[in-house]
Structure 1
Amino acid sequence: MRRFTKPAISVAEQLTLLKQRGLQIQDEERAALFLEAVSFFRLTPYMRPFQPSEDPDHSFAPGTGFRQLSQLYDFDRRLRLLVMDAIERVEVAIRAAISNHMGPLHGAHWYLESRLFKRRYDHHRLLRTIRDKQQKAQQDYDREARRIDQLAHADEHRKQLLKQRRAQESYARHYALTYDDPELMPGWAMFEELTLGELSHLFKGLARDSDKKAIARRLAVPAPLLESWLHTLATVRNICAHHARLWNRELGIKPERPRSQDFLWPEYLRRPGQHTRIAIVLAALHHLMRQVSPHTRWHLRLAELLQEFPDIPIQAMGLPQGWLEDGFWQ
């Protein structure tokens, strides 16, 4: 361990530092505006592909220009938006798939039953999360109702109308104000209060294999594969939500590959060592998108994005040359 001594430097000093490291900057004013909007620190991961790893001074490879960094950053930003779009669609569909199976089979408030979950699943935490959501919703309503009561220009009829509108602004608020038995909202509403990570844990925590298999069949995947993919998608969603680098990231949560040869899957992802990059997430999202939106053009938008940025080294994403020609993408 040692003492941190790096000084904070201005944008002008950042540009000077980049030029000292060998970066070519044709338009310094434009580069300065980019750094003002993005920040040097956020741009740093996009510099590394252009800096020899053995160089302790972080020098750039000869011929590297600022435009290459900004283009790589822009590509990654648009890739995150595309991935986030698919994850949103898939997440909503998975919530519906679980709810549409568990509700009719086990009742409107099925998630209150601890017997439907594995022993190691933190069922109390789930209930505490939903209880806290309802309590906060009611507290917010009570605070707004007090403000409405203090309106000097509104008569009682107008105040009651405003309160009714506030009461309907969320189901958590409506349920807390309308029902007291059971204490917590029904399962279909509960799902809207969970993060994707919590949803992933809930699916993993279901006790009955028959339930998990039935839910997974709605998305045309084996249950263990859906469980693994959900875990990974929750991590990838967090990466996208925090605007972090995605295009060449080594996945910390490595998703499982389909084991059956009958499962339609890219041939380049059946080989060992190819499932630690974003390529496997793109394939999983394409498969799931085809189930939730059979006429999807998401894969075409992905192809168009890569065609728009032909200089992006797609091997760092886990994609081989000619990846789009694989039958999986046709």
Structure 2
Amino acid sequence: MRAYEFDRDLRLVMFGAIAEIEIFFRGRLSYLASGEDGIFGFPESVKPRLSREYSAANKGEQFIKHFVAKYGDEHDLPPYWMMVECATMGTIELFYQKVSPSVRTEVASELGIKVLVLKNWLSVLRVARNACCHHSRVWNRTWGVRPVIPKDWKGFGSSNGKTFAVLSVLYYLLDAIGDAAPWKKKFDGLLGEYGDIDLDKLGFPEN
């Protein structure tokens, strides 16, 4: 029962971090891509997928309904800042892969990492987000998408497929976009509350 409760609470803490990172990334990608390619300048290869998600959003999102009523005859898709609101995380990940190299580099540089690392971390975020949303286990788990670990991150060894590596990515990104201290306080509080949980199952390094 304790492991189940810890897993549940850990999912909540992880999802809180993912939500903050997702908001930042959607905003920055929208701002930079629309600044370079125009507010309707979506990559052609992504448009079919966007159209499907746009149609689905039109059934429920009020701001999309308003856009359709006013501008639907002029544009097949809404502007970037609207589209990123209703796109799935998988589509946002695809967006990043398809936008211009300069936009990809700019976003990654703002986070202090390389483009290839950010591509991998977006996949990690998507998988972790899905696990949290669908109440899948996050404790004592080996992730199918392993985070790429920067060379100066010590102590991971072969454990980069465990949850500690995912948590480290979340902490790094939160720190890069603002202040990770509140989230770290929540996480430390969680570990304190469940002091009997075996941290080795999360992939924590010995030190």
Q: When the two structures are superposed, what TM-score results if normalisation uses the length of structure 2?
A: 0.92
Which amino acid counterpart does residue 72 of structure 1 have in structure 2? A
Aligned 8 A contact 1:131 1:184 in 2 = no
Matched, 1:302 2:195: no
Aligned to 1:316: 201
Of the three residues 55, 67, 89, the one matched with 2:20 is: 89
Displacement of 1:123 after TM fit? 3.7
Structure 1 position 209, deviation (Å): 2.0
Matching residue of 2:70: 178
Pairing 1:198–2:122 present: no
1:246 aligns with 2:141: no
Determine if contact 1:97/1:218 at 8 Å carries over to the other structure: no
Find the aligned partners of 1:132 and 1:246 in 2 and give their Cα distance. Answer: 30
In structure 1, what is the Cα distance between the partners aligned to 2:10 and 2:22? 18
**Deviation digits for residues 200-224 of structure 1, max 9, x if unmatched?**
1221233x32221111122222111
CA contact (8 A) 2:131 2:137 kept: yes
* Alignment length (residue pairs): 206
| Matching residue of 1:104 | 35
CA separation of 1:204/1:216 partners in 2, compared to 1, >3 Å: closer, same or farther? Answer: same
Whole-angstrom distance in 1 between the partners of 2:41 and 2:123: 23
Q: Alpha-carbon deviations, 1:24-68, whole Å to 9, x = none?
A: xxxxxxxxxxxxxxxxxxxxxxxxxxxxxxxxxxxxxxxxxxxxx
SS of the equivalent of 1:109 reads coil
- Output the aligned Cα RMSD: 1.7
Determine if contact 2:46/2:94 at 8 Å carries over to the other structure: no
Q: Deviating runs (4+, > 6 A) in structure 1?
A: none
Higher helix share: 2
Assess if the C-alpha contact under 8 Å between 1:235 and 1:253 holds in 2.
yes
Post-superposition shift, 1:122? 4.7
Read off the aligned partner of 2:111 and give its amino acid letter: L
Give the CA deviation at 1:295: 5.7
Select 1:218's aligned residue among 61, 86, 110.
110
Counterpart in 2 of 1:80?
A: 11
Q: Paired residue for 1:126, among 27, 30, 50?
A: 50
- Residue 258 of structure 1: CA displacement? 1.5
TM-score by length of 1: 0.59
Compute the displacement of 1:320 (Å).
2.4
- Residues 62-83 of structure 1: per-residue CA shift (max 9 Å, x gap): xxxxxxxx11111111100000
Change (3 A) 1:132 1:298: closer
1:96-137 deviations in whole A, cap 9, x for unaligned?
A: 1101111112111111x42xxxxxx55422233224433x35
What secondary structure sits across from 1:319 in the alignment? coil
**Paired letter, 1:236:** A
Q: Could you report, residue by residue, the CA deviation over 1:300-327 in whole angstroms, capped at 9, with x for unpaired residues?
A: 22122112212111111110244xxxxx
Alignment of 1:224-243 (within 5 A): 224-243=116-135
Structure 2 unmatched ranges of 5 or more = none
Q: 2:150 is matched with which residue? A: 258
| SS of structure 2 residue aligned to 1:110 | coil
What are structure 1's unaligned runs of at least 5 residues? 1-69, 115-120, 138-168, 323-330
CA distance in 2, matches of 1:304, 1:170: 39
